[in-house]
Structure 1
Amino acid sequence: MQSYITVKNPSVFEYEDRKSVFIGMAMPVSTEAEAIAFIDSVKKQYPDARHHVYAYALRENSTMRFTDDREPQGTAGMPVLDVIRKNGCTDVVIVVTRYFGGTLLGTGGLVRAYTAAAIGALENAEIIRYDIYSSAEFEINYSDYGKISPILSEVGFRISDTIFEENVKISGSILSSNFDVLREKMTEITSGRVEIKLLGEKFEC
């Protein structure tokens, strides 16, 4: 997996239909244990609610789960999961808590309400994309240092640290797909006087 889409922040979104209140809550998670812990915390926060519908998707084992929590089959959990999937998200859990308002909404009304609450929660959580970045470092002399800024900017190298000693030591990260381009351009502009060390890879947004 070279990239994935998830949410940045916990969020809450409230939707009302014929006095039934649907509270959509999204949370970034990375494991099933974290997803379950969040679901349990919502149930404790709203103990008097009639339904706690949830769905989650994880990179871990490509896991996807949902529940209708006593709503008619297919009207609640699956619509919430569909919102997650249609946005291409993973490592996220959405819980929609419902307070019944006394009027039956019908299957179509339930699907619309749970979908709306899930969409609102996801949008409020800020959808973000993570890509694989290569962490790298290199040492360069002062005469070459003035030449490299345009190159680093061009290839999208993110500088995290610069140390000025006998030479200039620079560390940072770059999209893994651009690492070879960085190395080629740096070798060319310094006539081979720089060696870029690859330290590892990690996901960054």
Structure 2
Amino acid sequence: MLQILNVIKDRGSRYAVSGGPVRNTEDIAAFLKTLKSHKKFAKATHNSWAASLCDGPQRNDDGEAGAAAAILRMLEREGLTDHIVVVTRWYGGTHLGGDRFRHVTSCTRAYLEALAKGV
């Protein structure tokens, strides 16, 4: 599991990104359970995720409407299959409006770049 903490800070909200290989819904569930076993991630406001599986995509906005679709589009553009990306947000008390989507895509991009570098 690759985790990149504190990718973005904006008006009190903080974002992080995590990801790793998955092959099926059981792997997704195990990945999310492992991620949320860390107290910091369990207390997050949103853990939005998308997984591009060979047998079809899976996603969950976790209350951050549209976030999973943005993650999935980026995975599909990269041609990355059997992989999950989770963008975590700790809400800081100020609504970010459309900037939330910019932050979700920036986090996902940071993850994909780290993955390409073999970090």
TM-score greater than 0.5 by the shorter chain: yes
Superposition deviation, residue 29 in structure 1: 1.9
Aligned length: 114
Superposition deviation, residue 44 in structure 1: 2.3
Aligned equivalents of 2:100 and 2:79: distance in 1?
A: 23
Helix, strand or coil for the counterpart of 1:36? helix
Distance 1:127 1:39, change over 3 A: farther
Aligned equivalents of 2:42 and 2:2: distance in 1?
A: 19
- TM-score w.r.t. the length of structure 1 is 0.52
Q: Which has the higher contact order (CA 8 A, sep 6+)?
A: 2
CA RMSD of aligned residues (A): 1.7
Structure 2 gaps of 5+ residues are none
- The aligned residue for residue 53 of structure 1 is 48
Task: Return the index of the structure with the highest Cα Rg.
Answer: 1
- TM-score w.r.t. the length of structure 2 is 0.85
- The aligned residue for residue 72 of structure 2 is 81
Superposition deviation, residue 127 in structure 1: 7.2
- The aligned residue for residue 116 of structure 2 is 126
% identical equivalent positions: 31
Corresponding position: 1:25 with 2:15: no
Structure 1 gaps of 5+ residues are 1-9, 129-205
Q: Describe how 1:15-164 pairs up with structure 2 within 5 A.
A: 15-45=8-38, 46-59=41-54, 62-71=55-64, 73-74=65-66, 76-106=67-97, 108-126=98-116
Aligned equivalents of 1:20 and 1:56: distance in 2?
A: 24
The structure carrying a bigger strand percent of its residues is 1
Structure 1 stretches of at least 4 aligned residues deviating more than 6 Å after TM superposition: none
CA contact (8 A) 1:27 1:125 kept: no
CA contact (8 A) 1:26 1:122 kept: no
Helix, strand or coil for the counterpart of 1:69? coil
Superposition deviation, residue 12 in structure 1: 2.1
